[in-house]
Chains A and B, each alone.
Chain A
Amino acid sequence: MIILRGRGIVGGCAEGEALVTRETISGWGGIDPMTGTIIETRHELRGQSFKDKVLVFPGAKGSSGWSNAFHMTRLTKSAPLAMIFNQMTTKIALGAVVTRVPAVTELDQDPLKVIETGDWVKVDGDRGVVEVIKKREVTLPSGGPGPSRFPNRTFPVARCRESGAG
């Protein structure tokens, strides 16, 4: 397990599969708030949804509707479980606050280098700590894709008591 330490900007604790992008994300016009899907034309994650994933990304770009678009995902139950990012901006600070999911930044290692899509990540926004289990370290059962690939018993870390609650 890898542990990253930084600054929590929204409290709470959540864990789940990581969805990682090296490209900044647009809110309004860049995501569909009804489904949490990235829709920006040339984005590497176009067509993928961050719903119920730990979103790991460099930061926010584009319209000032960023906070509104992510706030909406909270209402439509399409929000990410947690956010991990590098570049602080007003868009992302406000967006994370109103999305009310655990959010951590200013980590001591670059999360974009350490975390890969599919890794299991626990985000503690109260302590500013991120725990990463690489997907290759997890014993994959034959149960198919989705969170069931990660049965509780394979975890060396204590699970968050409830995921997604801010």
Chain B
Amino acid sequence: MILADDEKAMLDGAGGVAKQKAMELLVRYAEALGAERLVDTNNIAGVPGSSTLFLQKYFEEHAGDGSFEAVFSLYDLDAAEVMSVPKAAGNCCHLQGGMDLEHWADLGMSREALEHQREDETELARHGVRIMKTCTPYLAGNLPVQGEHCAWMESSAVVYCNSVIGARTNTEGRESTSAAILTGKIPDWGLHRDEYRRGTHLVHVETTPVESVMDWGMLGYFIGGTVEENIPVVTGAIRRADPLRHKHFGAAAASSGGVEMYHIVGVTPEAATLEMALGSRKPAATIKYGAEERRRVYETLNANGRDPYVDYVMLGCPHASIDQFREVARLLEGKKIKTHLWMFTSRAVKTVADMSGFTKKIEDAGGLVMTDTCSAIARAVPKGTKVVALDSAKQVHYLPAMVGVEAWFGTTEDCINAAQTGRWTGELR
């Protein structure tokens, strides 16, 4: 590896021992990748120092110290000693967390866990980390520019960052983002480099136009399962691109496969034309998405649903946008629901939803609006839940396995209908 002078200095300990350990971890990681150098980054989204009670207690027991700085040193930086952790080097935010600080009891969290979360937040703020607590930083105030080198975690945010914004990030992990927070560096590999950003597989949409949020989600889920970690280039009947549809498409493609970047010809910034999206390469495969593929992906996403009696409707995966609040508030206005309904979002979007009157309409109908987390992250569903209704392909992918429930997938309206009647009536239309 070739290291720049400032990187060598940090590795030699010029910036203190914490930066030295962070640089050592980045070098181990970059060498494993086969990267030749590091690149500067001033936009980092991670989960620095955050710990569950398990982690805190593990380090209390094994290292005699379960503090924020201990977890950051021993776990995030994989170091052998607890170090004093300096302030963040650049712009960095904390992604989603474990619980809503107001409705923690509904999530089944203990007061002890709540206090621990509060302490972590105090430490994060003291270390210069922005408390965004969302999987959608791009909807909550962290919006990079095209070409900007970022170091982001959260697969749904990564794919949005690369594909929709045209900024550059690999799918980073907890340890690499924490190291980047101290050093402002990340391996210059993969999607940071032009040659890795061109499309590899062609997907032609030959069905009734993909327009609804549900259809964008299903197409994303199909594509992820088909191309795995490759870069799809989508052409054909796909319409009404907006941030919400991209959010659901990318999250689905990143869960069923490992899609970190996609192109939609004429829509996304690095795909003005098919030639631009593919570069000089021939696609490795051309894949058709027609009525049959659409039907099969719908059945796959509903494979865990048997019992039509729904106990719980979960919305906000990835965290709900303000447009989704407007729609859910419209559907629920003046109504009462029979099931539990939890809607998850960021603190920033919730603030706007509160002021716009959307939260009140949802709560008046019997729903609950929560921030920071979701049912999969918190591994929390309302007590006694057996059957869930979801409008997110990503959440369907994870939640049934994680908490042992049946799940139905459909439109937001299907979910709201289920909340009102207690019965799932969604179908492919």
Residues on A facing B (Cβ under 8 Å)? 7, 9-10, 24, 29, 39-41, 59-68, 71, 75, 87-91, 93-98, 100, 103
Contact = CB atoms under 8 A, between A and B. Distances in A.
Interface of B: 25, 28-29, 31-34, 47, 55, 58, 75, 78, 152-155, 158, 170-176, 187, 189-190, 228-229, 254-255, 257-258, 303-304, 376, 397-398, 400-402
Contacts of A98: 78, 173, 175
Contact of B32 (A60, A63, A87, A97): A97
A29 B16 CA distance: 36
| Residue among B152, B173, B258 with max Cβ neighbours from chain A (10 Å) | B173
Contact of A29 (B31, B153, B228, B402): B402
- Interface SS of chain A: mixed
Given A61-B257, A68-B173, A24 B228 contact: yes
Nearest to A46: B401
A64 B398 contact: no
A155 B41 CA distance: 50
B171 A90 contact: yes
A93 B29 CA distance: 6
A66 B171 CA distance: 10
Given A88-B34, A91-B258, A94-B176, 4 more contacts: A29-B376, A29-B397, A39-B402, A90-B170
A63 B25 CA distance: 21
B173 A90 contact: yes
B158 A64 contact: yes
B28 A71 contact: no
9 nearest A-B residue pairs (beta carbon): A67-B173, A9-B32, A93-B32, A64-B153, A61-B258, A90-B170, A29-B398, A94-B173, A93-B33
A96 B174 contact: no
A103 B189 CA distance: 19
Contact of B173 (A61, A91, A103): A91
A41 B175 contact: no
Given A39-B402, A90-B190, A98-B78, A65 B173 contact: yes
A29 B172 CA distance: 17
B254 to A, nearest CB: 7
A40 B400 CA distance: 9
A91 B170 CA distance: 9
Nearest to A67: B173
A96 B153 contact: no
Contacts of A97: 25, 28-29, 32, 78, 175
Given A75-B58, A90-B170, A61 B229 contact: yes
Contacts of B229: 24, 59, 61, 87, 89
A45 B29 CA distance: 28
A93 B186 CA distance: 13
14 contacts: A9-B31, A29-B398, A29-B402, A41-B304, A63-B154, A64-B158, A68-B47, A87-B229, A91-B171, A93-B33, A94-B29, A96-B32, A97-B25, A103-B32
B21 to A, nearest CB: 13
A62 B254 contact: yes
Given A89-B229, A90-B190, A95 B58 contact: no
Nearest to A34: B54
B258 A62 contact: yes
A108 B400 CA distance: 39
A76 to B, nearest CB: 9
B30 to A, nearest CB: 8
A65 B228 CA distance: 17
B175 to A, nearest CB: 5
Nearest to B170: A90
B401 A39 contact: yes
Contacts of A94: 29, 32, 172-173, 175-176
A29 to B, nearest CB: 4
Contacts of B25: 97
Contacts of B254: 62
A29 B401 CA distance: 8
A76 B170 CA distance: 28
A39 B398 CA distance: 10
A51 to B, nearest CB: 17
A96 B258 CA distance: 17
B154 A64 contact: yes
Contacts of B173: 64-68, 90-91, 94-95, 98
Nearest to A9: B32
Contacts of A89: 171, 190, 229, 258
Nearest to B31: A9
A64 B172 contact: yes
A151 B397 CA distance: 42
Contacts of A7: 34
A149 B356 CA distance: 67
Contacts of B153: 64-65
A9 B152 CA distance: 23
B176 A67 contact: yes
Given A24-B258, A41-B304, A89-B258, A67 B228 contact: no
B172 A90 contact: yes
Given A62-B255, A71-B75, A88 B155 contact: no
| Residue among A24, A64, A71 with max Cβ neighbours from chain B (10 Å) | A64
A4 B172 CA distance: 30
